[in-house]
Amino acid sequence: MDTVFIRELRADAVIGVYDWERSIRQTLVLDLEMAWDNRPAAAGDTIGRALDYAAVSGRVIEYIEGSSYQLLETLAENLAALVLSEFGVPWLRLRLCKPGAVQQARDVGVLIERGARPA
């Protein structure tokens, strides 16, 4: 199986458990790897049979920027479910980071895999 990926996608969200976090927007960074059979798109050289990473990116940004969660874990689970269902992706690996959340670290976050990875 092939992989379509998006790296370092940025979107602003209300995210966090502290009162001060609930009153601001913070930039989140997302990496996404999605299983997809690229052969049909390559054979016809057409976007209609490809996993449109621009469409996925736009939808993910729209969802994140319209969200308000306390935990990255909740947002990551809901993003994974969205991509799996709306884009027909059989498997994905999603890395969601919150830069600056721990002063001594570049970023912190979660890494999840959902769906069944095709052989």
Global confidence as pTM: 0.94
pLDDT at 80 over 90: yes
Query: Per the residue annotation, which of 80, 98, 109, 114 is the catalytic one?
Result: 98
Domain 2-115 has CATH 1.10.1040.10: no
pLDDT given at position 118: 86
* pLDDT, tens digit, 9 for 90 and up, residues 35-63: 999 999 999 999 999 999 999 999 999 99
Signed CA dihedral, 117, 35, 57, 83: sign only: negative
- Rounded Cα distance, 115 and 84, in Å: 8
- Rounded Cα distance, 29 and 10, in Å: 5
Burial 21-34 (b: 16+ CB within 10 A, else e): eeeeeeebbbbbbb
> What residues does each domain of the chain span?
2-115
98 is catalytic: yes
pLDDT band at 6, cuts 50/70/90?
A: very high
